[in-house]
Structure formats: structure tokens, C-alpha cells
Amino acid sequence: MPKPLWAPWRLEYVQQADELDRCIFCEPEEELLVHRGEHALIVLNKFPYSSGHLLIAPRRHLGDFGLLSDEEALEVHRLGARGVEALRAEYAPHGHNLGWNLGRVAGAGIEDHVHLHVVPRWNGDTSFMPVLADVKVLPEALVRTAERLRPHFS
């Protein structure tokens, strides 16, 4: 008999995934906001690939990557570098994925506000769970992850 896998904190997110009536970057949830800079901000991904999955976006609502100002592009990428360092210090991942998903066909869940993904990775983190059970195991609540990462940006 299979053992149940409990993640009750995710139910709220899953139920509201398609009902979002606001931009998560323009109106971020404070408990998931890691850092707010002059031109860009960092929030935790509510549907992370792994614990510590950061989303870095310009503060200006912008859906076209090519329209980023020099200041926005610079701050987003500098925060990406700081995010890598913060994750390295707090979680000691073995590597990171950084990337932009531009357009729905490219995997963008939010098309109308460009954002950079910073995803910590560990050896063996692509375990059998996503393949066999369509489940990801996250060992830490998102609010706790935000609390751990905020001091790295103050």
C-alpha cells in the first residue's frame, strides 16, 4: 500500500493557479517577497521546481524582454547573481539553472511580466517523484525559505 505524501500548504496555491487576477510582480505577496530593489524585485515561485526557486522581475509591468531598460536589465541580472550567492550560502546546492521563459510555448506561466528564474539544483534532485507520481517534494515551506533568504539582500 502506498504511503500518503502530505503537502497541505500547497492546496491554496493549486486551487488558485488559474484564477489570479493580479500580477504577482506588481502586487507581490509580502511573505514571498525576498527583496525589492530600485528597478527590480525578487519573489519566491509559488510553484517551484525546487526549494529556493527565485523569480526576479523588473518592477515596471513589462511583457517584452526587448523593452527592458539598461537599468532594469542590469539590476535583474545583478540580483540573479546575488540570488545564486544567497542560495549557495543557505542551501549549498550543487548548481543552478538561470533562465528566461519568453512566451507560453517557451514555458512562461506569466507572459505579461518578464522575469528571470534562478533555480538551485542538487545531484539527484530529478528523482523518480516527478516522473512516476507527477509530484515534487519540497522539504521547506515557502515562507521559511523567504525568511532565510531576505537577510542576504539587506
pLDDT of the residue at 27: 95
Predicted confidence band at 13 (pLDDT cuts at 50, 70, 90)?
Answer: low
Residues annotated catalytic, as ranges: 115
Q: Mean pLDDT over residues 55-64, rounded?
A: 96
**Helix or strand (DSSP H, E) at 128:** helix 128-128
Quote the pTM value.
0.78
Predicted confidence band at 140 (pLDDT cuts at 50, 70, 90)?
Answer: confident
| Buried b / exposed e along 72-101 (16+ C-beta atoms within 10 A) | beebbeebbebbbebbeebbebeebeeeeb
Q: Mean pLDDT over residues 18-23, rounded?
A: 71
All three cell numbers of 70, joined, read 539598461
Pick the closest to residue 35 from 88, 96, 93, 76 (CA basis): 76
pLDDT of the residue at 142: 86
pLDDT of the residue at 131: 42
Q: Mean pLDDT over residues 102-129, rounded?
A: 83
β-strand partners of 100: 116
Go through the domains of the chain in sequence order and give each one's CATH number.
Answer: 24-153 (3.30.428.10)
> What integer best gives the mean pLDDT of the chain?
85
